[in-house]
Amino acid sequence: MFMPQLMKKAETGEKLAALTCYDASYARILLRAGVDILLVGDSLGMTIQGHDTTLPVTLDQMVYHTTAVRRGAGNAFIMADLPFGSYQQGPGQAFASAAQLLAAGANMVKLEGGAVMVETVEFLIRRGIPVCAHLGLLPQSVNRTGYRAQARDDKAALQLIEDAANLEQAGAELLVLESIPALLAAEVTNSLSIPTIGIGAGLHCDGQVLVLNDILGLTEKPPRFARNFMLGATAIEDAARRYVAAVKAGEFPAAEHAF
């Protein structure tokens, strides 16, 4: 699936259900369950590798996992994270890294950051690389912010709204909003024409994403915005199916998952 088909789905008003995915077996299961977007997230640094942060993940590792996911995913839509240190030096470095992820099978790359990423987003888009921007809590900036909800005061909220508009203007085609107040996420979603995908950002985004290990109850201390969909499920595929159904029906996230 390419960008236009994904956009068509979003235009129908159907909520997009995304999950992280790190290998071929899970890719097959998640697709059978109806997941719209497989995100090869750099969260694999924590879920697969056991680190405390995403920072040690390398581009080679992201390429390896993207290749594996593509083998299980047929022609499904895959988004892959540009890992820390593989794009922050500027557009040229970002292009070289993104090209490796696309060659490995990604349809789109995701990068973290606001104003500082606008030039890079425009550079990639003009060269044929679909980009998902990521605002709010930026796990690659954990040393500056910790793992705390973001944009909770007026100044930071206004900055986020401005960043979102500028990233859309630069050509970003999706926007992940992580750990921000639900009201702010709703405002950003209404102000943009590209779809927003929330994680800890309330119900009013155009789609949701969660870390696979969190919905499967594999995380020792899951974030407050996640739900364990294995509870009451018969199998992993059933849990993923319940997640997809809850997202599409607007039943997840609930009020207790929002900031």
State the residues that interact with ligand KIV by CB under 6 A.
Answer: 20, 41-43, 81, 176, 178, 199, 209, 211
Cβ proximity to ligand KIV: between 174 and 184 the closer is 174
* Closest distance to ligand KIV from the beta carbon of 42 (Å): 5
94/106 Cα distance (integer angstroms): 15
45/149 Cα distance (integer angstroms): 21
Cβ proximity to ligand KIV: between 29 and 199 the closer is 199
Beta bridge partners, 19, equal 38, 210
User: Which residue is closest to ligand KIV by CB?
Assistant: 41
* Closest distance to ligand KIV from the beta carbon of 139 (Å): 6
154/170 Cα distance (integer angstroms): 24
Q: How distant, in Å, are the alpha carbons of 98, 182, 188, 190, 202 from that of 185? A: 27, 5, 5, 9, 7
* Closest distance to ligand KIV from the beta carbon of 140 (Å): 9
Q: How distant, in Å, are the alpha carbons of 22, 73, 119, 131, 228 from that of 98? A: 18, 19, 15, 9, 32
Active-site position among 178, 220, 237, 251: 178
Cβ proximity to ligand KIV: between 10 and 234 the closer is 10
* Closest distance to ligand KIV from the beta carbon of 209 (Å): 5
- Which tokens sit at 255? 């009020």
Residue 251 catalytic?
Answer: no
Q: How distant, in Å, are the alpha carbons of 41, 54, 71, 150 from that of 61? A: 11, 12, 16, 29
* Furthest-apart CA atoms within the chain: distance in Å: 48
Cβ proximity to ligand KIV: between 144 and 155 the closer is 144
Cβ proximity to ligand KIV: between 49 and 158 the closer is 49
Q: Is residue 117 within 8 Å of residue 123, measured between CB atoms?
A: no
Q: How distant, in Å, are the alpha carbons of 54, 109, 128, 188, 223 from that of 165? A: 27, 19, 21, 8, 28
* Closest distance to ligand KIV from the beta carbon of 234 (Å): 26
Which residues are part of the catalytic machinery? 178
